[in-house]
C-alpha cells in the first residue's frame, strides 16, 4: 500500500466481494437475480476510479471484474430452446460465493457484538509473580510461539543456514526420534522391525537415513552375526 488516499477509499470495503455486495444493496436488487449488466458496469466504474489511485491492490478486484464480464457475455448468449430448464444460470456460482461471504461478514459483525474481554467485560488483573508454576508439568503451548522463537533468533543472528529448515530435515528427525523411542522401549530391534509392516518407499529411505545418522552419531550400534544375516540395532549406551 503506497497511496494513503487509496487506503482510505479501500477501507470501506474488505475486498471485491464486499464491494459487490455494497452495489447490490445500493441498487436494491435481488441477490438471487442480479442485473449483471448494470452491476458489472458500476463495479468496473468503481475499480477504474480506484485504479487511478493505486494499481497494486486492485489485483483481486480485477479478477472479479473479469468474472463479471464473463458472466455478462454468457448471459447475452441465446438460451437453447430444448435444454431450457437444464441450463445452468451463469450467475449461480457467483451468487453462491456472495451468499457465503455475506454469511461470514454477518458472523464477523456478530462476533464484534459479543461481550469482548478487555473491551466490554473485564477480569482481574494478575500481578506477574503471584503464581509460580509447577516445574514438572507444562500447559499446552501454541506451536506459533515456538516457531516465532526460532524466527526471532534467525533474524537476530542473521544466520542464513537457520532459514533453510525444510520438511525433509524434520521428517528425518521424526524417524530418528521414533527409532530412539523404540530402542529405549525394546532394547534391541532388527532393521525389519524398525521398518514396520506397512512400509512404503519413503519410510524405508527415511528409516535407513535415520539409522545411518544415528550410527554416525554413535547413538546406536548395528550388529550382523553372519554376512547377509539379520541386522540387529541397539542403543550404544555410555
Partner 1 sequence: MDNLKAVIETLIFVSDTPITEARIKVILQDIKEKEISSAIHSLIREYEERDGGIFLREIAGGYQFRTGETTAPWVQKLRGQKPGTLSPAAMETLAVVAYRQPVMKSEIEKVRGVDVSGSLRGLLEKNLVRMMGRKNVPGRPIIYGTTRKFLETFGLNTLSDLPTLREFKELEG
Q: Hey, which residues between 144 and 163 contact partner 1 (CB under 8 A)?
A: 144-154, 156-157, 159, 162-163
Size of the site for partner 1 (CB under 8 A): 90
Q: What is the CA radius of gyration of the chain?
A: 31
Consecutive H or E run containing 211: helix 201-216
- The binding track of 119-138 with respect to partner 1, each residue x by CB under 8 A or -, is xxxxxxxxx--xxxxxxxxx
Helix (H), strand (E), coil (C) string for 155-197: HHHCCHHHHHCCHHHHHHHHHHHHHHHHHHHHCEEEHHHHHCC
- Give the nearer residue to partner 1 in terms of CB position, either 84 or 112: 112
Distance CA 38, CA 69 (A): 11
Sign of the torsion angle spanned by Cα atoms 172, 178, 181, 186: negative
Least Å distance between CB 192 and partner 1?
22
* Site for partner 1 contains 106 (CB under 8 A): yes
Exactly one of 81, 111, 225, 229 binds partner 1 (CB under 8 A); that residue is: 111
Q: Is 135 exposed, middle or buried (0-12, 13-18, 19+ CB in 10 A)?
A: exposed
Contact flags string 44-63 toward partner 1, x per CB under 8 A: ----------------x---
The residue within the footprint of partner 1, chosen from 9, 72, 102, 203 (CB under 8 A), is 102
CA-nearest of 134, 237, 96, 113 to 180 is 237
194 binds partner 1 (CB under 8 A): no
Question: Is residue 103 at the binding interface for partner 1, with CB under 8 A as the rule?
Answer: yes
Which one of the spans 84-92, 110-118, 197-205, 226-234 is the region binding partner 1 (CB under 8 A)? 110-118
CB of 237 to partner 1, least distance (A): 8
Minimum CB–partner distance for residue 123 and partner 1 (Å): 6
Cα separation, 175 vs 159, whole angstroms? 26
Amino acid at each position: 500500500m503506497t497511496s494513503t488516499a487509496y487506503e482510505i477509499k479501500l477501507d470501506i470495503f474488505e475486498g471485491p466481494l464486499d464491494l459487490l455486495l455494497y452495489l447490490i444493496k445500493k441498487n436494491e436488487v435481488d441477490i438471487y437475480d442480479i442485473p449483471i449488466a448494470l452491476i458489472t458496469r458500476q463495479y468496473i466504474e468503481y475499480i477504474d476510479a480506484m485504479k487511478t489511485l493505486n494499481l497494486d491492490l486492485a489485483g483481486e478486484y480485477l479478477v472479479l471484474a473479469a468474472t463479471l464480464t464473463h458472466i455478462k457475455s454468457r448471459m447475452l448468449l441465446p438460451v437453447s430452446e430444448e435444454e431450457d430448464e437444464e441450463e445452468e444460470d451463469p450467475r449461480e456460482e457467483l451468487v453462491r460465493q456472495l451468499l457465503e461471504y455475506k454469511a461470514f461478514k454477518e458472523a464477523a459483525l456478530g462476533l464484534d457484538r459479543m461481550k469482548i474481554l478487555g473491551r466490554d467485560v473485564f477480569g482481574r488483573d494478575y500481578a506477574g509473580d503471584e503464581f509460580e508454576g509447577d516445574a514438572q508439568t507444562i500447559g499446552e503451548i501454541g506451536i506459533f510461539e515456538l516457531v516465532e522463537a526460532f524466527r526471532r533468533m534467525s533474524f537476530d543472528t542473521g544466520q542464513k543456514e537457520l532459514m533453510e529448515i525444510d520438511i525433509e530435515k524434520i521428517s528425518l528427525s521424526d524417524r530418528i526420534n521414533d527409532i530412539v523411542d523404540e530402542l529405549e522401549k525394546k532394547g534391541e530391534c532388527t532393521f525389519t522391525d524398525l521398518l514396520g509392516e506397512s512400509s512404503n518407499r519413503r519410510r524405508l529411505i527415511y528409516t535407513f537415513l535415520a539409522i545411518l545418522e544415528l550410527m554416525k552419531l554413535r547413538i546406536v550400534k548395528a550388529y550382523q552375526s553372519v554376512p547377509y544375516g539379520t541386522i540387529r540395532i541397539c542403543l550404544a549406551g555410555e
